[in-house]
């Protein structure tokens, strides 16, 4: 069974690469620096947008491998 991490707004599935190492790829931590956000301070991630864009429900697990 691969490790799963629950971030409240999404649940991500990781990949165990070695016996003591798990990777989670592509998990956003802030809004992408595009358009008006370029060369500005970091903007907190809009977790509602992430939830809706991934069409998630409470049982969905996003593959982050």
DSSP state of 1: -
pLDDT digits (tens, 9 = 90+) for 30-61: 999 999 999 999 999 998 888 887 776 667 78
What was the pLDDT predicted at 58? Answer: 66
Please tell me the pTM assigned to this model.
0.73
- Residue pair 12/62 in contact (Cβ under 8 Å)? The answer is yes
């Amino acid at each position: 069974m691969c490790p799963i991490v629950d971030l409240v707004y999404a649940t991500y599935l990781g990949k165990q690469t070695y016996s003591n190492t798990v990777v989670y790829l592509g998990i956003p931590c802030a809004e992408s620096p595009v358009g008006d956000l370029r060369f500005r301070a970091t903007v907190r991630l809009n977790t509602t947008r992430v939830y809706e864009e991934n069409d998630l429900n409470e049982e969905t697990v996003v593959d982050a491998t």
